[in-house]
Amino acid sequence: MQDVQQIRNVVFFGHGNSGKSTLAEALLFTAGSLKRQGKVDEGTSSMDFEPEETKRKISIGAAFNHLNWQKNDVYLIDTPGDDNFFNETRFAAQVADSALLTVGAVLGVRAQTEKFVDLIKDNNLPCLVCVTKMDRERANFQKTVTGIREATGLNPVILYLPIGAEDAFAGVVDILANKALLFTEGGKAEVAEIPADLADEAASLRESLMESVAETDDELIEKFLEEGTLTDEELKGGLVAAVKAAKVAPVCACAALGNKGSSVVLDALVSLLPSPDQRPARVGTHPKSGEAVERPGKADAPFSALVFKTMADPFAGRLTIFRVFSGTLKGDTFYNTSKATSERFGQLYIMAGKEQKPVEQALPGMVVAVAKLKETTTGDTLCEEGKPILYSMIEPLPSVIAYAVSAKKGDEEKLFSSITRLLDEDLTLKLTREQQTHEILISGVGQVHLEVIGEKIKRKFGVEMELRPPRVPYRETLKGKVTVQGKHKKQSGGRGQFGDCTIEMEPLPRGEQFQFLDKIVGGVIPAQYRPAVEKGIIEAMERGVIAGYPFVDLKVSLIDGSYHTVDSSEMAFKVAGSLAFKKGVVQANPVLLEPIMEVEVRVPKDFVGDVMGDLNSRRGRVLGMDSTSKYEVINANVPQSEILLYALDLTSMTGGRGTFLVKFSHYEEVPAQIAEKIIADYKDKSEE
């Protein structure tokens, strides 16, 4: 087992199709962790092993592996580049020590790249940038680096200059060591002279590298300004310190599919990125006193870890995956601070793609897994019971799209128990019951997210999920005031039924629901029958009158009536109340109410006009705007019926750069022409 100084923990970020998983595969193969280099397009990659990933050729969940390079143990976390699975990426960013950002040499910086850079900055992660796919047609290294500098606010410094591009990509110039590295078999490279046509460019890049490094340190900048240069030792030491302090981001070039440049990336990774003990101590709180507690990333510190992922493994049962922040975990128990309980575990594993390899102990920086824990879930803190600490976990992304869900072949119980099992694994997935429409809703981060959930459930549990847009919970109310009589009289041999009541109906202010006043004077209706009138009205209100939606905001006064000594009963007065209510509604200008949602949309400045125009076309009212450094925040009220599938439209309108939050605000009257359509639909269905 390694010394902590020789452990690296690196999370891979990059926009979809920028080659993260392919690069991880090449690094694992070059370091000897894999016997052969798999390919994402052929479904043989060790990191994208779930059937849903091989089908779509994208990463869906964070995947883990490790390699050994120059006596250093490197733990890799490969994250999804797709917005639908961004939550996995955010959780991984919280537990990593450093980041490797991939940017494709053809596609360059994309909308998602900016989101990953925000994660890098928010978590203050030292970062290595890899310009990938240098062997593709139209690969342009300089243009890509310029894009990174302009769009992301990272401070990229070129450390390896490519020799050739596209088919002619043959090696790199190591700017720091001032030599060329020409690619050979198996991802390796051999030292050579710098090609004559690149000598001037390499010299000028070395000059700007020296300047960028000097600017990060007061002593170095002083020396550089006085003498105009730094020694090799000062330059290398200054670069390492600047990278670890996240002040510069060194740039490499590679072509992972052809395994060109893997050894160069590995060298940079172990020589420049920090070990766990070189990162700032992790800060948590004491569970009882709430005071701040620090844990340095050292092996002899008290043990602490954060659970950041749970996986339902068909063979091992539930796998709990955590990152060790401090101390050494041995033995078979740990304390779960979040649940205030001790948990026993069997074997400790490190993850290698879809496989788990047993280990005896876990040190800071390691990502390890244990199976079949009873209490522990994602977000929990693990530690020594005598030295407790509680780490906070970032909130999962809010769900933005919801569908009514049912089982295709009627196996509802099996479907909902399957979804419940996936809720442990995926915190952005929600299952709720809509009280009014009686529908069960499944919500997620996007359309693809819910499609993948459906495929997983079918594969793992053998039940098919059906999705349809949810019904909007409209309500009914009235605007006028009316006095009506409801009379129920039935005579059919033997004892009859008789109930007669006169009620006054008027609207209440929004949100007041229902009031019933008994204004009977004298005994025109005996006291025991009056509650039945109220009961009849309440039951009829639940079913609605004009379109089958619950009735709200109504005040009813019971003012008169009559009864029969033999034929009157509670049942008869209940029916009379219901009849009076239905008759009164039709006469008192009934209207439909619709739920209005409070929507907050965050978009880059270029898209504000399009988004505001679109919100207006959805009958939205823009309430105001705020600005942040990168985004405009639009606040609006929009009818729920107009934004059921807004997530899809916003993504296509903004190229995936817009995000939104939505919550219920209040009810408002539905415009007449829309209400007519809803009422007509209801009548058609009733007749059927």
197: Cβ contacts below 8 Å, ≥ 6 apart: none
Q: Are the CB atoms for 340 and 284 separated by under 8 Å? A: no
CATH code assigned at 605: 3.30.70.240
Q: Which domain holds residue 612?
A: 594-674
The type of residue at 281 is A
As given in the structure block, the two tokens for residue 88 are 């996995």
Is 217 among the domain residues? no
334 and 412 together in one domain? no
426 and 506 together in one domain? no
Q: Are the CB atoms for 529 and 568 separated by under 8 Å? A: yes
Please give the average per-residue pLDDT across 51-62, as a whole number: 71
CATH code assigned at 159: 3.40.50.300
- Write the pLDDT tens digit of every residue in 109-168: 887 888 889 889 999 999 999 999 998 999 999 999 999 988 777 889 999 999 988 888
Reported confidence tier of residue 49, pLDDT bands at 50, 70, 90: low
Partners of residue 433 on adjacent β-strands: 440
57 and 158 together in one domain? yes
pTM equals 0.81
Is 320 among the domain residues? yes
pLDDT of amino acid 313:
63
Backbone angles phi, psi at 239, to 5 degrees: -65, -45
119-122's contacts with Cβ under 8 Å and 24+ in sequence apart are 119/13, 119/89, 119/90, 119/93, 120/13, 120/93, 120/154, 120/246, 121/153, 122/93
Please give the average per-residue pLDDT across 368-397, as a whole number: 90
176 and 258 together in one domain? yes
Tell me how crowded residue 614 is: count the other CB atoms within 10 A of its CB.
16
Last residue of one domain, picked from the residues 468, 485, 509? 468
CA distance 264 to 189: 7
Last residue of one domain, picked from the residues 383, 414, 448? 383
Tell me how crowded residue 160 is: count the other CB atoms within 10 A of its CB.
28
Tell me how crowded residue 680 is: count the other CB atoms within 10 A of its CB.
11
Reported confidence tier of residue 342, pLDDT bands at 50, 70, 90: very high
170 and 41 together in one domain? yes
pLDDT at 459 over 90: no
Is 226 among the domain residues? no
As given in the structure block, the two tokens for residue 53 are 């990933």
Is 40 among the domain residues? yes
CA distance 419 to 69: 41
C-alpha dist (Å) from residue 84 to 174, 354, 420, 448, 589: 38, 22, 20, 6, 46
Radius of gyration of the chain (CA): 33
519 and 462 together in one domain? no
The rounded Cα 386 to chain-centroid distance in angstroms is 34
Of the candidates 489, 479, 510, 660, the residue with the CA atom closest to the CA atom of residue 573: 489
Residue reference for tokens 């310009």 = 131
84 and 140 together in one domain? yes
552 and 622 together in one domain? no
pLDDT at 43 over 80: no
Is 109 among the domain residues? yes
**Sheet arrangement for strand 156-158:** 63-69, 72-78, 7-14, 98-104, 127-132, 249-253, 156-158
Reported confidence tier of residue 315, pLDDT bands at 50, 70, 90: low
Reported confidence tier of residue 75, pLDDT bands at 50, 70, 90: very high
46 and 95 together in one domain? yes
Reported confidence tier of residue 45, pLDDT bands at 50, 70, 90: low
439 and 315 together in one domain? no
CA distance 210 to 457: 55
Is 8 among the domain residues? yes
- Mean pLDDT of all residues belonging to the chain: 88
- Write the pLDDT tens digit of every residue in 430-453: 988 887 778 888 988 888 888 888
Is 202 among the domain residues? no
Is 203 among the domain residues? no
Among 311-320, 337-346, 465-474, 566-575, the minimum mean pLDDT is found in 311-320
pLDDT of amino acid 230:
83
CATH code assigned at 426: 3.30.70.870
Cα angle value 328/334/338 (rounded, 5°): 115
CATH code assigned at 484: 3.30.230.10
Partners of residue 342 on adjacent β-strands: 335
As given in the structure block, the two tokens for residue 588 are 């008192």
374 and 416 together in one domain? no
C-alpha dist (Å) from residue 90 to 12, 122, 180, 239, 428: 11, 10, 37, 27, 12
168 and 265 together in one domain? yes
Counted domains in the chain:
5
Please give the average per-residue pLDDT across 361-365, as a whole number: 92
pLDDT above 90 coverage of the chain, percent: 44
pLDDT at 42 over 70: no
Last residue of one domain, picked from the residues 546, 563, 588? 588
pLDDT of amino acid 187:
81
